[in-house]
Amino acid sequence: MLAKHRHFLRFTTRELTDEQAGLRTTASELCLGGLIKHVTAVERGWRNFILEGPSAMGDFTAMTEADWAQRADEFRMLPGDTLDAVLADYTEAARLTDELVATLPDLGATQPLPKAPWFQAETEWSARRVLMHIMAETAQHAGHADIIRESLDGAKSMG
Protein backbone atom coordinates (compact mmCIF):
# COMPACT_ATOMS: atom_id res chain seq x y z
CA MET A 1 0.00 0.00 0.00
CA LEU A 2 2.82 2.40 0.84
CA ALA A 3 4.52 1.65 -2.49
CA LYS A 4 1.25 2.43 -4.30
CA HIS A 5 0.90 5.84 -2.62
CA ARG A 6 4.58 6.62 -3.18
CA HIS A 7 4.05 5.87 -6.88
CA PHE A 8 1.09 8.23 -7.16
CA LEU A 9 2.98 10.99 -5.36
CA ARG A 10 5.98 10.62 -7.68
CA PHE A 11 3.72 10.29 -10.73
CA THR A 12 2.36 13.81 -10.21
CA THR A 13 5.79 15.18 -11.15
CA ARG A 14 6.12 13.39 -14.48
CA GLU A 15 7.52 15.51 -17.31
CA LEU A 16 7.81 18.65 -15.14
CA THR A 17 10.66 21.12 -15.05
CA ASP A 18 12.32 22.20 -11.83
CA GLU A 19 10.48 25.50 -12.09
CA GLN A 20 7.08 23.81 -12.49
CA ALA A 21 7.81 21.54 -9.52
CA GLY A 22 8.23 24.67 -7.39
CA LEU A 23 5.07 26.46 -8.49
CA ARG A 24 2.18 27.07 -6.10
CA THR A 25 -1.02 26.51 -8.06
CA THR A 26 -3.54 26.90 -5.23
CA ALA A 27 -3.99 29.26 -2.27
CA SER A 28 -1.87 26.81 -0.29
CA GLU A 29 1.89 27.21 0.21
CA LEU A 30 2.36 23.71 -1.21
CA CYS A 31 4.17 22.83 -4.44
CA LEU A 32 4.92 19.41 -5.89
CA GLY A 33 8.64 19.41 -5.18
CA GLY A 34 8.03 20.70 -1.67
CA LEU A 35 5.49 17.97 -0.98
CA ILE A 36 8.00 15.32 -2.00
CA LYS A 37 10.69 16.97 0.13
CA HIS A 38 8.28 16.96 3.08
CA VAL A 39 7.26 13.32 2.66
CA THR A 40 10.94 12.42 2.38
CA ALA A 41 11.67 14.19 5.67
CA VAL A 42 8.64 12.56 7.31
CA GLU A 43 9.68 9.09 6.18
CA ARG A 44 13.29 9.64 7.23
CA GLY A 45 12.30 11.10 10.61
CA TRP A 46 9.86 8.34 11.50
CA ARG A 47 12.29 5.64 10.34
CA ASN A 48 14.88 7.10 12.68
CA PHE A 49 12.25 7.24 15.44
CA ILE A 50 11.65 3.48 15.08
CA LEU A 51 15.39 2.88 15.47
CA GLU A 52 16.38 5.54 18.00
CA GLY A 53 13.24 6.70 19.80
CA PRO A 54 12.05 10.26 20.38
CA SER A 55 15.56 11.76 20.46
CA ALA A 56 15.72 11.17 16.70
CA MET A 57 12.98 13.75 16.19
CA GLY A 58 13.81 16.27 18.89
CA ASP A 59 11.55 18.24 21.20
CA PHE A 60 9.09 20.18 19.07
CA THR A 61 8.03 22.26 22.08
CA ALA A 62 11.54 23.73 22.25
CA MET A 63 11.81 24.76 18.59
CA THR A 64 12.83 28.33 17.83
CA GLU A 65 11.52 30.56 15.05
CA ALA A 66 14.60 29.64 13.05
CA ASP A 67 13.84 25.93 13.55
CA TRP A 68 10.27 26.45 12.33
CA ALA A 69 11.51 28.43 9.31
CA GLN A 70 13.93 25.64 8.44
CA ARG A 71 11.11 23.11 8.76
CA ALA A 72 8.93 25.23 6.46
CA ASP A 73 11.66 25.00 3.79
CA GLU A 74 10.93 21.29 3.41
CA PHE A 75 7.63 22.34 1.77
CA ARG A 76 9.32 24.47 -0.92
CA MET A 77 11.70 24.11 -3.80
CA LEU A 78 14.63 26.26 -2.73
CA PRO A 79 17.22 27.85 -5.01
CA GLY A 80 19.49 25.05 -6.15
CA ASP A 81 16.88 22.32 -5.59
CA THR A 82 16.19 20.16 -8.62
CA LEU A 83 13.28 17.83 -9.13
CA ASP A 84 15.67 15.00 -10.04
CA ALA A 85 17.57 15.45 -6.76
CA VAL A 86 14.35 15.70 -4.72
CA LEU A 87 13.04 12.49 -6.32
CA ALA A 88 16.37 10.69 -5.81
CA ASP A 89 16.37 11.66 -2.13
CA TYR A 90 12.81 10.34 -1.80
CA THR A 91 13.78 7.09 -3.50
CA GLU A 92 16.65 6.63 -1.03
CA ALA A 93 14.46 7.40 2.00
CA ALA A 94 11.85 4.92 0.74
CA ARG A 95 14.50 2.26 0.15
CA LEU A 96 15.78 2.62 3.71
CA THR A 97 12.25 2.41 5.12
CA ASP A 98 11.53 -0.70 3.06
CA GLU A 99 14.82 -2.22 4.23
CA LEU A 100 13.88 -1.53 7.84
CA VAL A 101 10.45 -3.12 7.43
CA ALA A 102 12.05 -6.22 5.90
CA THR A 103 14.59 -6.61 8.70
CA LEU A 104 12.85 -5.32 11.82
CA PRO A 105 12.43 -8.25 14.20
CA ASP A 106 9.29 -6.90 15.92
CA LEU A 107 6.76 -4.50 14.41
CA GLY A 108 5.14 -4.35 17.84
CA ALA A 109 8.19 -2.74 19.47
CA THR A 110 7.25 0.68 20.87
CA GLN A 111 8.91 4.03 21.49
CA PRO A 112 7.53 7.02 23.43
CA LEU A 113 6.44 9.84 21.15
CA PRO A 114 8.54 13.01 21.15
CA LYS A 115 7.25 16.13 22.87
CA ALA A 116 5.01 18.03 20.47
CA PRO A 117 1.78 20.00 20.85
CA TRP A 118 0.05 17.63 18.43
CA PHE A 119 0.91 14.41 20.31
CA GLN A 120 -0.85 13.15 23.41
CA ALA A 121 1.62 13.13 26.30
CA GLU A 122 2.88 9.83 27.66
CA THR A 123 1.98 7.95 24.47
CA GLU A 124 3.96 5.23 22.75
CA TRP A 125 3.72 4.13 19.14
CA SER A 126 4.70 0.75 17.81
CA ALA A 127 6.77 0.41 14.66
CA ARG A 128 3.59 -0.85 13.01
CA ARG A 129 1.72 2.33 14.04
CA VAL A 130 4.56 4.49 12.75
CA LEU A 131 4.46 2.72 9.37
CA MET A 132 0.70 3.27 9.20
CA HIS A 133 1.32 6.96 9.89
CA ILE A 134 3.89 7.14 7.07
CA MET A 135 1.38 5.47 4.76
CA ALA A 136 -1.43 7.86 5.74
CA GLU A 137 0.81 10.90 5.36
CA THR A 138 2.00 9.73 1.94
CA ALA A 139 -1.56 9.07 0.76
CA GLN A 140 -2.78 12.44 2.01
CA HIS A 141 0.03 14.29 0.28
CA ALA A 142 -0.39 12.28 -2.93
CA GLY A 143 -3.93 13.68 -2.99
CA HIS A 144 -2.65 17.19 -2.42
CA ALA A 145 -0.11 16.67 -5.21
CA ASP A 146 -2.83 15.51 -7.60
CA ILE A 147 -4.78 18.73 -7.02
CA ILE A 148 -1.66 20.86 -7.45
CA ARG A 149 -0.72 19.07 -10.69
CA GLU A 150 -4.21 19.32 -12.13
CA SER A 151 -4.23 23.04 -11.29
CA LEU A 152 -0.83 23.41 -12.95
CA ASP A 153 -1.57 21.97 -16.36
CA GLY A 154 -4.67 19.78 -16.20
CA ALA A 155 -2.75 16.51 -15.90
CA LYS A 156 -4.31 13.93 -13.58
CA SER A 157 -2.79 11.00 -11.76
CA MET A 158 -5.94 8.92 -12.15
CA GLY A 159 -8.99 9.10 -14.37
Of the candidates 113, 71, 108, 85, which has an alpha carbon nearest to the alpha carbon of residue 22? Answer: 85
- What's the predicted TM-score (pTM) here? 0.93
Gyration radius of the chain over CA positions: 16
d(CA 76, CA 37): 8
pLDDT at 117: 85
pLDDT in tens, 48-98: 999 999 999 888 888 889 988 888 898 999 999 999 999 999 999 999 999
pLDDT in tens, 118-142: 888 889 999 999 999 999 999 999 9
Q: Helix, strand or coil for residue 130?
A: helix
Instruction: Give the start-end residues of each E strand in 42-118.
Output: 110-112
